[in-house]
Amino acid sequence: MPPWQRFMSVLWQARFFTTVNRLGDLPKYKVPEIAFAGRSNAGKSTAINLLCNQKRLAFASKTPGRTQHINFFSIGGAHVGQHRKDATRTEEIRAFLVDLPGYGYAEVSGSAKDHWQELLGRYVQVRDPLAALVLIMDARRPFTELDTQMLEWFAGTGKPIHCLLSKADKLNRSEATDALRLAHTVLSSYVDESGTPLPFTAQLFSATKRTGVEEADAKIRQLLGLSAEETTTAWDTPDTLA
Ligand code: GDP
């Protein structure tokens, strides 16, 4: 990237699209989507907001009544050019970022838990446009029981998982190296029927220190097939974000 050009990502176009509480209501668009999963408080909303360069995008998912829902954010779409001179030009939605309900609240039990298992389990296992999963885990406490449940569900699809080891700023350098090594060891133990390792990757991430943001951005764009667009330039940025 030339030094005069600031880092900007196509992910910055993300806008709230819809919220879904039943699999039957999932968007019918056949564009690739990538889902963000993680234990409550792992830093999922913060990571999504930072990757999309928006303050409150993912906090839509935290408003009462939406916490157990699947929230869709669109990349591209007609709104991209709405304030331009050529606003009549409609652009197709190119991808979705999908914010899954955070899991692991102690008080979620009984029927709410069953609903979570059914909705999330089926979504990650059967959703055809779902290209990959981003699993956000606190770098100090990765691979909790429900994280492992998520890995197991997704392993059956053979699709990629990229783990963000979040809050890496809470670790010193050697602890961070150990955390990343542990994650690689656990992830490499997942293999398909022929014994080939599944496409599971991991990186350190800190929203506070902005560590790993460009790496995560590049990975997500690659998984969504948007990798050709290294950056967008200032004049391509939606007006609301400029
Ligand atoms: P979510 O429940 O997974 O969506 O988690 P949030 O994004 O709401 O984050 C939970 C808490 O962790 C909040 O208090 C955040 O400010 C904090 N947090 C998120 N990311 C980081 C990070 O990179 N470093 C540190 N130190 N705290 C973070």
Q: What's the 206 CA to ligand 1 centre distance in angstroms?
A: 9
User: Which has more pLDDT, 69 or 113?
Assistant: 69
Q: Residue range 184-210: average pLDDT?
A: 96
Sheet holding 33-38, edge to edge: 15-20, 70-76, 93-99, 33-38, 130-138, 161-166, 200-204
Q: Is the CB of 206 under 6 A from ligand 1?
A: yes
- For residues 17 and 2, give the distance between their C-alpha atoms in angstroms, rounded to a whole number: 33
Q: DSSP letter at 120? A: H
What's the length of the chain?
A: 242
Percent of the chain with pLDDT over 90: 67
Q: What's the 140 CA to ligand 1 centre distance in angstroms?
A: 13
The pLDDT, as a whole number, for residue 234 is: 47
Confidence label for 85 from pLDDT (cuts 50, 70 and 90)? low
Q: Is the dihedral of CA 84, 87, 91, 93 positive or negative?
A: positive
pLDDT in tens, 51-82: 999 998 988 666 666 667 899 999 987 654 55
How many CB atoms are located within 10 Å of the residue 129 CB? 16
- pTM of this structure: 0.88
